[in-house]
Structure 1
């Protein structure tokens, strides 16, 4: 009895001295176990009930926060490597250049989707959206990090199992696995799943927000109202597409709809329209 009590006290002391991510992983593990027990005891209760969703939510949030803490620690380690090695600095510089190029290409694609025109007609909108698009690229890069986390967790779990088997086969083989290894491996996988699911939910919303901002910026700051091809300067704004056509937006037009194409030769503004008619 005293031995069990001592083991329990030792466990409690180690838990209090453990890092914050271990504490959060423990909370996630306890809520996950509570969810499993509830599902086994009352199988008739729907898994989408308020209590089940609350337990899963706590487990997912706690494990996700723990994983973010670990990712921050890994990023700090990468920063140390970067300061110590020119090769790592060169690799990071190349990755940064690729990310910026991808962000610019992504911003150009968004401009094409919201205007229905080549992004070269809206250079300022493209430049404005590029740093915002870089955040979406960052989310994609984080997704790649999650894949690496999966691989790391798999390797650690495999090594732990091999050590356990070696201890059974070779009794003289002495190894002492860390107390929190199994907890970290299992809950890290749950954290990866939670964060990946959250990012997959955020990316479409963020892309819609980028399109909305880009459409407003293009209409407000890259299209103008004073032009011979404008029929009503109070309602319409335009930008010239080529020598024969213009792109027009009206205040009566629905939000985030493609711009109207209107035929209006460039020479219209060089001479008065015949008969005083509005150019068509």
Structure 2
């Protein structure tokens, strides 16, 4: 992703470009990644001006109600048909497809803001919606919708960058587990099945959370009470689990363990050899 001095999208209703040049790299840098980290474009962020135009038109159609002055798709259709130029009407701004685009739009498209068709057909419909909106909807409303689109695009990039940062942290955690993480101390576990284990007082219960190889050779992540851990000589395959470890960040056993360690407010315990 090479830097550019040009804003990615020209303003349509707002007065200034809604997104600054290199906004993606700025977001990537702000979340703590190196400035030129290659983060995949999120699905929610339009790839180009055409996709952005289609998305903006769909947002305007979905706005509806008192915000735009049109509470039902039939009102939108009536307004568009009365606005669209007749076939033989010469209007300077009309590229020649406004009338046909209006007639091609179904009630579902107008009501639910989901334009149908091939990309070029959707683009023509979208440009028609924007031209109609410019004439028939208050400018302040359109500016708010366009700014909201820009905010959502930035948030999508922020979420993608944060997900990339989290994935890198998970990989680093798996490669070199720290001695301490958020109150959990690394445990010197000597059972062959244990890949890594941590110990802490979890809400009054001395506990061990571990990644270990199960009998089926799959890596598992569980929390045990320290008492149960000791009674089974530190063998996680035999000990009864106290909690399952889950995560919404990343995949795999180490991702689950890291998320588990960061989830609970625990009290540190002295390092033990178990």
Q: Under a length normalisation based on structure 2, what TM-score does the superposition of the two structures give?
A: 0.30
Q: Greater helix percent: which structure? A: 1
Q: Which structure carries more strand by proportion? A: 2
**TM-score using structure 1 length:** 0.29
